[in-house]
Amino acid sequence: MITSESAGVPQRVSTGRLPGWDEVESLTVTAHERYRDLHDGTVADYIPVLAGADPGLFGLAVSEVSGAVHRVGDSAHTFTVQSVSKAFVYALVCREYGHEVVKDRVGVNNTGLPFNSVMAIELNDGHPMNPMVNAGAIATTALMPGATPAEQWELIRTGLSAFAGRQLTMDGTVYASEMATNHRNKAIARLLESYGRLDADPLEIVDVYTRQCALLVTAEDLAVMGATLADGGANPVTGEQVVSPDVCRDTLAMLAASGMYERSGEWLFEIGIPAKSGVAGGIVAIAPGKGAIGAFSPRLNSAGNSVRGQRAIAYLSRALGLNLFASDADARIGGTVAAERTRS
């Protein structure tokens, strides 16, 4: 087991700055232009009502930690947050219980299996393992404070609204469509219960979880929600301190490991920032200390990640210098370091 000491250790951060406003604005517009004519991928249809989504929609927003927001295309179009909610409910649960309890109860490792895998539970003695896929997310929702499922749901709705900086509401049609067909999620909850891993009524928790997935957001909301995690938990638009910097750090580490389903390794390798996607076509990608990108386009690849969203974020990660693993001695102090190295 890996542990990290924090008591008595100096706390510093390792991030730089975004380019200026004009450049972020023009690169956001370029990212949209580059991929708006890309028609690869298919709209999710396992939740029947999602099959009716307009595949042409494409919205992009970048929220800076300064509070500036850049928007292009269908950035104000509402869609259901789906799995992107898992990141923010996880943060709310971490806020309540802290690092160790959540790590122990839910786990922090990627299962390497699809989002709705039952096998991932069986292979790990009933331990849900990964809060970013359904089993772990249902176990996480069950940990939400609240004396009743109705209270838990309201705390989730208001909590995610604080991240977004506006009151979010649920799409009742998507919720009803999913509740009528989500036998697999109900089975996952029952399986967790059978292993003693769920401190709640399984069907009631699936109901709360399905509501959280049916919250309506825009690409701009996702950008602001993500920028709150990039900003030590302070919403850069409203100024509200939603969660602590420690919770942000833990949540972003989770997203880096598991936010993009079983393609999370590939995502980190290619794009290099924590992100979370959902089956309605939303993606939030977060650059700690700098800001976040919200993308929406309903056509998905086979893992369930928005094709255009992914490509646009990959472009912005490079163009804005977001990749957490990139370094360059030349960029450090105007080339002097590299030049001196070559001489010696």
Q: Are 168 and 93 in contact (CB under 8 A)?
A: no
Residue tagged active-site, from 133, 261, 297, 307: 261
What's the closest the beta carbon of residue 323 comes to ligand GLU, in angstroms? 25
338: its two tokens = 């590299």
Alpha-carbon torsion, ordered 127, 133, 135, 139, to 10 deg? 80
Nearer to ligand GLU, 28 or 185 (CB): 185
Is residue 296 classed exposed, middle or buried when 0-12, 13-18 and 19+ CB atoms within 10 A define those classes? Answer: buried
Q: How far is CA 167 from the centre of its chain?
A: 19
The answer to whether 103 is a known catalytic residue is no
Dist. CA 28–CA 90, nearest whole Å: 29
Active site residue 279: yes
Least distance in angstroms from the C-beta of 85 to ligand GLU: 8
Nearest-CB residue to ligand GLU?
83
Helix residue ranges per DSSP H, 237-285: 245-258, 264-270
Do residues 111 and 120 lie in contact, with contact meaning Cβ atoms separated by under 8 Å?
A: yes
Site string for ligand GLU, 296-325 (x = CB under 6 A): --------x---------------------
Residues 257 to 296 in contact with ligand GLU, rule: CB under 6 A: 278-279
| Residue from 140, 141, 152, 185 in contact with ligand GLU (CB under 6 A) | 185
35 is catalytic: no
Catalytic residue among 63, 75, 83, 258: 83
Q: Which is nearer to ligand GLU, 136 or 304 (CB)?
A: 304
Provide, rounded to whole angstroms, the least separation between the CB of residue 303 and ligand GLU: 9
Strand, helix or coil for residue 292: strand
- Smallest gap from Cβ 278 to ligand GLU, in A, equals 4
Chain residues 92-121 in contact with ligand GLU, contact rule CB under 6 A: 115-116
44/254 Cα distance (integer angstroms):
24
* Catalytic choice (35, 90, 175, 209): 209
**228 and 236 in contact (C-beta within 8 Å)?**
yes
Question: According to the binding rule CB under 6 A, does residue 175 interact with ligand GLU?
Answer: no
In single-letter form, the type of residue at position 163 comes to F
- Decide whether 61 or 214 has the Cβ nearer to ligand GLU: 214
Longest dimension (CA), the chain: 70
Q: What residue ranges bind ligand GLU (CB under 6 A)?
A: 82-83, 115-116, 134, 178, 185, 213, 278-279, 304
Q: Annotated active-site positions, please?
A: 83, 86, 209, 261, 279
